[in-house]
Amino acid sequence: MDTFTAHIDREDIDEEIIRKAGDVIRYGGLVAFPTETVYGLGGDALNENSSERIYAAKGRPSDNPLIVHIADFDSIEAIASLDDKDYPLPDIGGKVRALNDRFWPGPLTIILKKKDIVPYKTTGGLDTVAIRMPHDDIALGLIRASGGYIAAPSANLSGRPSPTKASHVIEDMDGRIDMILDGGDVDIGLESTIVDMTEDEPAVLRPGAITVNDLSKVLGTVIVDPAVLGIDTHAVPRAPGMRYRHYAPKGELAIVKGEEDEVTEYINSQCAAAKSDLLRTGVICADEHVLRYRATSVKCAGRRDDGAFTARRLYAVLREFDEEQIDVIYSESFDEGRLGQAIMNRLLKAAGHKVIDLSK
């Protein structure tokens, strides 16, 4: 299949291209598009054949549900229940509306009880559906042009880091999908926060740019799925997608924690040993530490106090190590600030939970 890539100027969006891309989705095709979090791989959420094609293009297990992207709040009604009798939580309609007022469009995905119109192929066989309204004019235009409901996982091959640039999408999806809308680099760089509203308490199943604290201000008590914090490595995550080893670079990645100087010394000695075994080594560190490390490839992931930059850069760094054929990678820990939880969740997954804690 030939994949057509169209560049879109955010300041002056070409409506004709959006209309064509919308038609591709209406007729069952697949279009990758930018969102504020990561690039998505979109198909018609209400057409089970489209969902099947998405799983095939990504090489993704079909029990891993897709997020349905909408462009306005009223679109929820057709695909999910907001009726109190379907939920243990009181006043579900009021709560979801409050989340909409505060966070949508934006990097928040809300899980609700699905209606019959949403095929089980889209929800991975579940009776719930994940819904998000992205904060991106290209995405919102495309959703409207394609009939209002786009199922979109991140536009990477299953197991690779999510795409934060159009070039990442081309790397993974060229020849596998109909069209790519190139809207430049994304803003946030990590996938949306997922909050499940279908159980006794609102629960964060995947941390993202909207924090538990942000959600609590609107919802009151919010719990966090313990499996996503890396504290209990045996707990099974509630979001099926969080169970797979995602975002993985080809090299072995380990996160090293401890006093700054100890971390540097440890990483440098490990890299020296790996080098004598003829392995290519990589380091991910804060900008201010870049001159401390000796490795084949040392990558800055932003200043310690600039989590937004680290988030935006993380997946690109992991892909660059693949291109440079790095065999072993050591990363400093980036657990501070608003985005710390989301960044560490993705790093831990990329590392298959391998953490070396020098303070122990």
Nearer to ligand TXA, 18 or 239 (CB): 239
Nearer to ligand TXA, 50 or 64 (CB): 64
Q: Does 192 bind ligand TXA (CB under 6 A)?
A: yes
For residue 64, report the phi and psi dihedrals to the nearest 5 degrees.
-105, 105
Cα(267)–Cα(269) distance, integer angstroms = 5
Where do we find the tokens 């997020």?
67
Q: Which of 44, 172, 191, 332 binds ligand TXA (CB under 6 A)?
A: 191
Nearer to ligand TXA, 78 or 358 (CB): 78
Query: What pairs with residue 40 in β-bridges?
Result: 33, 154
The least CB distance from residue 154 to Mg ion, in Å, is 3
Considering only residues 328-357, where is the footprint of ligand TXA by CB under 6 A? none
Query: What pairs with residue 195 in β-bridges?
Result: 110, 204
Residue nearest to ligand TXA according to CB distances in the complex:
241
Q: Does 193 bind Mg ion (CB under 5 A)?
A: no
Considering only residues 147-176, where is the footprint of Mg ion by CB under 5 A? 154
Cα(7)–Cα(177) distance, integer angstroms = 16
Structure tokens belonging to residue 217: 């201000």
152 contact choice in ligand TXA, Mg ion, none (CB below 5 to 8 Å, kind-dependent): ligand TXA
The least CB distance from residue 196 to ligand TXA, in Å, is 6
The least CB distance from residue 286 to ligand TXA, in Å, is 25
Nearer to ligand TXA, 219 or 298 (CB): 219
Q: Does 194 bind ligand TXA (CB under 6 A)?
A: yes
Nearer to Mg ion, 51 or 296 (CB): 51
Closest CA to 110 of 244, 215, 229: 215
Q: Does 38 bind ligand TXA (CB under 6 A)?
A: yes
Structure tokens belonging to residue 90: 């009181």
Cα(first)–Cα(last) distance of the chain, in Å?
53
Contact mark string toward ligand TXA, 103..142, x via CB under 6 A: ------x-x-----------x--x-xxx-x-x--------
Q: Is 122 helix (H, G, I), strand (E, B) or coil?
A: coil
For residue 300, report the phi and psi dihedrals to the nearest 5 degrees.
-85, 140
Considering only residues 41-70, where is the footprint of ligand TXA by CB under 6 A? 64-67
Q: Which of 45, 79, 242, 317 binds ligand TXA (CB under 6 A)?
A: 242
Residue 294: exposed, middle, or buried by beta-carbon count in 10 A (0-12, 13-18, 19+)?
middle
Q: Does 71 bind ligand TXA (CB under 6 A)?
A: no
- HSE-CB for 104 with a 13 A CA cutoff: 23
Number of DSSP helices (H) and strands (E) in the chain, helices first: 10, 16
Q: Which of 8, 17, 22, 40 binds ligand TXA (CB under 6 A)?
A: 40
126 contact choice in Mg ion, ligand TXA, none (CB below 5 to 8 Å, kind-dependent): ligand TXA
The least CB distance from residue 307 to Mg ion, in Å, is 20
Which residues touch 276 (CB under 8 Å, ≥6 apart)? none
Q: Are 78 and 162 in contact (CB under 8 A)?
A: no
Structure tokens belonging to residue 2: 């030939």
Q: Which amino acid is at 178?
A: D
The least CB distance from residue 153 to ligand TXA, in Å, is 3
Residue nearest to Mg ion according to CB distances in the complex:
154
Cα(64)–Cα(304) distance, integer angstroms = 34
Cα(13)–Cα(107) distance, integer angstroms = 22
Size of residue set near Mg ion by CB under 5 A: 1
Size of residue set near ligand TXA by CB under 6 A: 29
Q: Does 37 bind ligand TXA (CB under 6 A)?
A: yes
Long-range contacts, stretch 116-120, CB < 8 angstroms, 24+ apart: 117/46, 117/78, 117/79, 118/45, 118/46, 118/68, 118/79, 118/80, 119/46, 119/47, 119/48, 119/51, 120/48
Summarize as ranges the residues that interact with ligand TXA (CB under 6 A).
Answer: 35, 37-38, 40, 64-67, 109, 111, 123, 126, 128-130, 132, 134, 152-154, 191-192, 194, 205-206, 239-242
Residues of the shown chain interacting with Mg ion in the complex, contacts defined by CB under 5 A: 154
